[in-house]
Amino acid sequence: MLTTLKRIVQEVNQAPNLDEALTCLASRLRDALKVDSCSLYLANYEQQHFLLVATEGLAKEAIGQVSIGFSEGLIGFIGQREEPINLSNAPAHPRFKYYPEVQEDLFHAFLGTPIIHQRKVLGVLTLQQRKKRKFSQNEEAFLVTLAAQIAVQIANAQARGSVHLLEQNVPKDWQKSLRGVPGSSGLAQGTGYVINMLVNIRNQVPTRSKDAAQQVLLYRNAVKKTRADVAVLSERIQGEVPEDVRAIFQLYHHLLDANSLGREVEQKINAGWDACSSLKMVVESYVGQFQSMTDNYMRERAVDVEDMGNRVLANILNQDLSRGLKREYPDKAILIAEEVTAAMLAEFPSENLVGIISMRGSTNSHAAIMARAMGVPAVMGLSSVPFSLLNDKEILLDGYTGDVIVSPSLTIRHEFALLIKEEQVLSERIRSQDTLPAVTTDNCSMSLLTNTGLSLETEKNDHPYSDGVGLFRTEIPFMMRERFPSEQEQAKLYRSLLLIQPSKPFTMRTLDVGGDKPLPYFPINEENPFLGWRGIRLTLDHPEIFLVQVRAMLRASFDLDNLHIMLPMITSVNEVKEAKRLINQAFFEVSEEAVQQESSLVMPKIGVMLEVPAVIYQLPQFAKHVDFFSVGSNDLTQYLLAVDRNNARVADLYDSYHPAILAALYQIVQQAKHLDVPITVCGELAGEPGGAVLLLAMGYRKLSMNNHNLLKVKWVIRNVSQKEAEKLLQRVLVLDNPKEVRSQINVYLETIGLGGLVRAGL
């Protein structure tokens, strides 16, 4: 059964578009299960019906014609119940409705299952048989498993807008609306610019061509060129690599042979596909076959087949395979990448950058935090969309909702432009208050600090409107190099930062790599990187790295007294003790140097991040060893809710407004007050207008956030009263779920005239 299932899924996956995939599915499924009919209906939520899109066994003329209302017939019934139905005599069922067009008069046995993706019914898959019989448990389980697998493909195709749905009146160039995860608020209108768009068959969207002869020629020339390239390569490495590696080149030659892959590619071209699409289909089918082989060696050859396909593709497109497509930057560019990195942002001309789309990551991935720090709207987690659908296209991006609209209609474009203007007005209003203190209408004063480090831009600036730096993430200088930075290099950078505002505190966090912040020269391969070797766990295992960093921080602080040191990912008191022992050792070593230079050196204040839930239950013990606490609400949310902050699939579950998180934050601040330990919140919640109001109400008086949010939060604080905020907090603490909390907060912000901070427009 499993092999049949795998085979069907693989074949279906290789179909060039969804229509063909579904047709293939119906026919393979009917043959595999030896039933008389297999059909597929897709849901259309606008029209509130299921449309027959593929069948083997029912009347083919009914495809694209027969629609069944959401509350009609057995198909509608399955959609409503969201579970399979297995009937030996379908016409006897009270919900059975007869559709003469499909010609199902002869069928009795009926098994139907919903196709569900992320809780949404996308369609219904049915099997029918003439004779009266109940389908077996095995058949039912098989169908359900298949439907679950096929659901992902349908959802992806729908996201790409490539579902033809066989409906007549869909305009050809209709705009595509995609939904990702909000990464950084704001609106952007610009041209998609895919970074390092490497030539890859996976990025090709199947396209038809009318000129088969020309496409065949294109393909043959590309093969000729690839043969020559491969011969050169093979020549170059002769004698340098083992024989089995050279054998791979023989495989390439064999595959390029006109009688093997070539013939199949040309067949596809003659069937109406262009050269790139034909190559993609054939190569992907070979890759699938290699991947399913039992022999390890042969399975690994899938990579070579794909590589060879990419080489031919590059030659068809006349592109340089290794360098990708480098082009002029559009004036208003929406940067698109598999995973946006700090290096990419550093390289990209900021005057051209209006928006960011990261295929991977989620709301509180470091790429999203970076985008917010730069004040650039961003959408994360659009993973199912091929780059070629976005590259060079006009794009509208809504960083509040996660919506991305490709090739928008004129009306939408106008509406969007208006909203962007309103956003600019709002941001000017906010800026006009930047020098005023963060005090509520009933005179409660808040200290607002800056988070810095992730956006290289902000480092160059000072932070005149903040009360200091509450979090400097030290990772980026480590990530931007090809080796660990030396003590000297680090000390120079840290000193330049401490000197920007020597009278204000500057909190440096020791290295917090791991998770979604890998070092290129120190690869860590782990199954669960966020639960693994991260932050203090890694640096305590490598005291040489930790000591060099702390020494650099201390040397940077000669004759200054604004350095605070913060430890990330602390789980146990022992880690603090060990880290303090190393800090003391470094202090002792550096003191001698200070004496020689006749400089003063003061012991910095040492604090811990509260981001691993365990520490909430040991605050009194931690309080004995540290000078301050700082709540990392990003990780605290991730670990308390057990939801990966980097995984777009569970983005809906990752929410710092979850009542349990709010209760934890409330408890933390009450305990910290009781223990008389200064406390800050430096996670992203502190920089959200609604989050800041709740934290104010809980009793937090120090919040640290990026500079862009700092001005917004200051504006919010100046417009709310602590009393009102406390009432809001009491109301939301008793709510059931984060969505209700969020909506109450948003309603509150709207009523005090601050709605423009949490949605598009004024």
Chain contacts with Mg ion (rule: CB under 5 A) = 611, 632, 635
Q: Which does 473 bind (CB under 5 to 8 A by kind): ligand PEP, Mg ion, none?
A: ligand PEP
Q: Write the interaction track for ligand PEP spanning residues 590-619; mark x where CB under 6 A is met and - where it is not.
A: ---------------------x--------
In the list 104, 306, 398, 635, the residue contacting ligand PEP (rule: CB under 6 A) is 635
Q: Which does 301 bind (CB under 5 to 8 A by kind): ligand PEP, Mg ion, none?
A: none
Give the end-to-end CA distance of the chain in Å, rounded to a whole number. Answer: 58
266 binds ligand PEP (CB under 6 A): no
The least distance separating Mg ion from the CB of residue 620, rounded to whole angstroms, comes to 23
- Look up tokens 């694209």; give the residue: 64
Contact stretch for ligand PEP (CB under 6 A) within 407-415, 431-439, 629-637, 750-758: 629-637
Does residue 658 have an active-site annotation?
no
Q: Residue 369 is encoded by which pair of tokens?
A: 């935090």
The least distance separating Mg ion from the CB of residue 732, rounded to whole angstroms, comes to 24
The least distance separating ligand PEP from the CB of residue 365, rounded to whole angstroms, comes to 9
- Look up tokens 């474009």; give the residue: 413
In the list 632, 687, 689, 691, the residue contacting ligand PEP (rule: CB under 6 A) is 632
The residue among 30 and 473 lying less far from ligand PEP, judged by its C-beta, is 473
Q: Which does 683 bind (CB under 5 to 8 A by kind): Mg ion, ligand PEP, none?
A: ligand PEP
658 binds ligand PEP (CB under 6 A): no
CA-nearest of 255, 256, 280 to 15 is 280
Q: Residue 137 is encoded by which pair of tokens?
A: 């448990």
Dihedral pair phi/psi, residue 384, rounded to 5°: -85, 0
- Look up tokens 């950084």; give the residue: 184
Going by the DSSP 8-state scheme, the letter that residue 685 receives in this structure is G
104 binds ligand PEP (CB under 6 A): no
The residue among 69 and 613 lying less far from Mg ion, judged by its C-beta, is 613
Q: Residue 319 is encoded by which pair of tokens?
A: 């592109």
Dihedral pair phi/psi, residue 112, rounded to 5°: -130, 140
Q: Which does 633 bind (CB under 5 to 8 A by kind): ligand PEP, Mg ion, none?
A: ligand PEP
Q: Which does 708 bind (CB under 5 to 8 A by kind): ligand PEP, Mg ion, none?
A: none
Q: Is 676 exposed, middle or buried (0-12, 13-18, 19+ CB in 10 A)?
A: exposed
> CB–CB of 665/631 below 8 Å?
yes
633 binds ligand PEP (CB under 6 A): yes
The least distance separating ligand PEP from the CB of residue 493, rounded to whole angstroms, comes to 18
The residue among 408 and 683 lying less far from Mg ion, judged by its C-beta, is 683
> CB–CB of 336/353 below 8 Å?
no
Contact stretch for ligand PEP (CB under 6 A) within 50-58, 106-114, 189-197, 630-638: 630-638
- Cα 691 from chain centroid? 22
- Got the DSSP string for 542-569? -HHHHHHHHHHHHHHTTT---EEEEE-S
* Buried b or exposed e, range 446-481, using 16+ CB within 10 angstroms: bbbbbbbbbbbbbbeeebebbbbbbbbbbbbbbbee
Q: Which does 30 bind (CB under 5 to 8 A by kind): Mg ion, ligand PEP, none?
A: none
Residue 258 Cα distances to 12, 223, 255, angstroms: 26, 9, 8
**Which residues from 327-386 bind ligand PEP, rule CB under 6 A?**
369
The least distance separating ligand PEP from the CB of residue 402, rounded to whole angstroms, comes to 20
**Which residues from 399-428 bind ligand PEP, rule CB under 6 A?**
none
Q: Which does 284 bind (CB under 5 to 8 A by kind): ligand PEP, Mg ion, none?
A: none
Active-site residue (options: 24, 38, 276, 682):
682
The least distance separating Mg ion from the CB of residue 525, rounded to whole angstroms, comes to 21
The residue among 36 and 512 lying less far from ligand PEP, judged by its C-beta, is 512
The residue among 501 and 630 lying less far from ligand PEP, judged by its C-beta, is 630
**How far apart are alpha carbons 187 and 172 in whole angstroms?**
27
Q: Which does 56 bind (CB under 5 to 8 A by kind): Mg ion, ligand PEP, none?
A: none
For the CA atoms of 380, 386, 387, 389, the dihedral, rounded to the nearest 10 degrees, stands at -110
Q: Is 139 exposed, middle or buried (0-12, 13-18, 19+ CB in 10 A)?
A: middle
Does residue 414 have an active-site annotation?
no
- The count of chain residues that interact with ligand PEP, using the rule CB under 6 A, is 11
108 binds ligand PEP (CB under 6 A): no
The least distance separating ligand PEP from the CB of residue 361, rounded to whole angstroms, comes to 12
The letter for the amino acid at 721 is S
16 binds ligand PEP (CB under 6 A): no
CA-nearest of 272, 231, 253 to 16 is 272
186 binds ligand PEP (CB under 6 A): no
Other CB atoms within 10 A of residue 759 CB:
15
Put the strands of the sheet holding 120-129 in their side by side order. 67-69, 49-56, 37-44, 120-129, 109-117, 85-87
Contact stretch for ligand PEP (CB under 6 A) within 166-174, 619-627, 633-641, 746-754: 633-641
Active-site residue (options: 366, 463, 564, 658):
366
The least distance separating ligand PEP from the CB of residue 761, rounded to whole angstroms, comes to 29
708 binds ligand PEP (CB under 6 A): no
- Helix-strand-coil percent breakdown of the chain, rounded to 5? 50, 15, 35
The residue among 256 and 373 lying less far from ligand PEP, judged by its C-beta, is 373
CA-nearest of 689, 188, 688 to 419 is 188
In the list 458, 634, 656, 706, the residue contacting ligand PEP (rule: CB under 6 A) is 634
The residue among 108 and 708 lying less far from ligand PEP, judged by its C-beta, is 708
512 binds ligand PEP (CB under 6 A): yes
In the list 281, 287, 335, 682, the residue contacting ligand PEP (rule: CB under 6 A) is 682
The least distance separating Mg ion from the CB of residue 633, rounded to whole angstroms, comes to 9
The residue among 39 and 452 lying less far from ligand PEP, judged by its C-beta, is 452
Residue 414 Cα distances to 410, 411, 417, 421, angstroms: 6, 5, 5, 11
**How far apart are alpha carbons 234 and 308 in whole angstroms?**
13
Which distant-in-sequence residues (6+ apart) come within 8 Å of 378 by Cβ?
A: 183, 184, 340, 355, 356, 357, 358, 367, 368, 371, 372, 397, 399
703 binds ligand PEP (CB under 6 A): no
683 binds ligand PEP (CB under 6 A): yes
The residue among 184 and 634 lying less far from ligand PEP, judged by its C-beta, is 634
- Cα 82 from chain centroid? 28
Q: Is 492 exposed, middle or buried (0-12, 13-18, 19+ CB in 10 A)?
A: middle
655 binds ligand PEP (CB under 6 A): no
Q: Residue 282 is encoded by which pair of tokens?
A: 């054939």
Q: How many residues does the chain have?
A: 762
Q: Which does 28 bind (CB under 5 to 8 A by kind): Mg ion, ligand PEP, none?
A: none
The residue among 123 and 514 lying less far from Mg ion, judged by its C-beta, is 514
The residue among 366 and 555 lying less far from ligand PEP, judged by its C-beta, is 366
Q: Is 589 exposed, middle or buried (0-12, 13-18, 19+ CB in 10 A)?
A: middle
The residue among 153 and 656 lying less far from Mg ion, judged by its C-beta, is 656
Q: Which does 648 bind (CB under 5 to 8 A by kind): ligand PEP, Mg ion, none?
A: none
Residues at the site binding ligand PEP, with contacts judged by CB under 6 A: 369, 471, 473, 512, 611, 632-635, 682-683
Catalytic residues: 366, 682
